[in-house]
Amino acid sequence: MNEQIREQLIAKRKELERRTQVRSLEMIEWINSLLKQLEDKPQPKVKEITVEIPTEVVEEAVKEEAKEEKKPAPKKKIVFKKK
């Protein structure tokens, strides 16, 4: 995908280089800045982080979720006032 965009930008830059208008020069500079942004930059290496969770904590969390699921929502009785 980036390669296709890069090729199209380069083709447009070559087309604009043939013209000698001030606007063309501005567009060429803009296209060059876009090409710089498209360059592949090395990604910073991410260190792998491992976290161990004790099984007791996991079991307690599961039990709490089970308790919360068992509680039904309180029902409200709708009362209309007579005039």
pLDDT in tens, 16-46: 888 767 777 888 888 888 888 877 677 778 8
| Residue 70, domain member (yes or no) | no
**Domain containing 21: what range?**
2-38
Question: How many domains does one find in the chain?
Answer: 1
Q: Chain-wide mean pLDDT for the chain?
A: 79
Q: What pLDDT is stored for residue 70 in this prediction?
A: 61
26 residue type, one letter = E
Tell me if 14 is assigned to some domain.
yes
pLDDT attached to residue 72:
65
pLDDT of residue 15: 84
Using DSSP, state whether 42 is helix, strand or coil: coil
The whole-number average pLDDT for the span 34-63 is 81
Answer yes or no: is 32 within a domain. yes
Residue 66 lies in a domain: no
Residue 47 has pLDDT above 80, yes or no: yes
Q: Is the backbone of residue 16 left (phi > 0), alpha (psi -120 to 50) or beta?
A: alpha
Confirm whether 13 is domain-assigned. yes
Domain annotation covers residue 26: yes
| 22 located within any domain | yes
